Amino acid sequence: MIISFEGIDGSGKSTQAKRLLDRLGASSLDVLYVREPGGTAVSERIRTLLLDPSLVMDPFAEMLLFSAARAQLVREKIRPFHEAGGIVICDRFFDSTVAYQGGGRQVADPDWLGDFQRVVTDGVVPDRTYLIRLDVATASQRLTERLGPGEAADRLESAGMAFFERVFNAYERLSASEPNRFVVINGQQSIDEVAAEVWADLLPTLPA
C-alpha cells in the first residue's frame, strides 16, 4: 500500500506523515517513510540543488530535477518495498510537481505534466492521498513561526503568496479530478483532529 500526504508548505503535512509513521510503526506492519525531494543518496543530492536559495533555476529544469529525484526514489526504494508487501508513506509525491511546477510555476500544461509523472513513476500511484487543506495566510504564518532566529526561508518557501495561491488552486483541481484517491482534510483543525481523520479513513483499508 502506498499513502501520500500533500498540501502547500506549512499545511501540516509532514507532521501528519510522521504521526502516521509512529502509529503504523507501533503495529507489526512494515512501514517505509520517504520525503520528497530526497530519500536516496542521489535524490538527496538533487534536493540540495533544488532548495539552494542562491541558485537561479529555470522552471523547466526545476521540474525535471524534481522528477529525476522521484524516478530514482521510486525505482530504488518505493516500488521494491511496496512489492514486498510493505506500507509506504510518502511526504509529497508526484502531485506536488503537478501543483507546484504546473500550477505554481506554470511550466507546462497540468494534464501533460500528470501524464509525464506517470512515466516518471513507471505507473506507481498512491492508493490514498491525504490533502491537508489550509489557506495560504495561515500556512505562511506557521512557517514564519517555524523559522528559527536568523534562519532564512528556502528557495521555494520564498516564492511568494501569489505563487502559493496558484499551488493551492492546483491542489483543489487535482483532488476534484480524482475523488477516489484524494481525501481532503481541513488543516485548520488541531494536529490530533487531523490525525484522527486520517486514521479513521485509513484503518478499514489496512491489511489485517
- 114: contact with ligand ADP by CB under 6 A: no
Give the residue among 163, 197, 139 at the shortest CA–CA distance from 59: 163
CB atoms within 10 A of CB 171: 26
Torsions phi, psi for 181 (to 5 deg): -90, -40
Q: Is 116 in the site for ligand TYD (CB under 6 A)?
A: no
Q: Find the binder of ligand ADP among 191, 201, 205, 206 (CB under 6 A).
A: 191
User: Among ligand TYD, ligand ADP, none, what binds residue 15 when CB lies within 5 to 8 Å by partner kind?
Assistant: ligand ADP
Span from 81-89, 97-105, 176-184, 196-204 in contact with ligand TYD (CB under 6 A): 97-105
Contacts to ligand ADP from residues 131-150, by CB under 6 A: 142, 146
CB 124 within 8 A of CB 36: no
| Residue numbers 121-180 binding ligand TYD by CB under 6 A | 156-157
What does the block give as the cell for 183? 481525501
**Least distance from C-beta 66 to ligand TYD, angstroms?**
4
Among 2, 4, 11, 36, binds ligand ADP (CB under 6 A): 11
Distances (CA, A) of 162 to 154, 157, 165, 169: 17, 12, 5, 11
**68 closest CA partner among 102, 44, 92, 34:** 44
Q: Does 40 bind ligand TYD (CB under 6 A)?
A: no
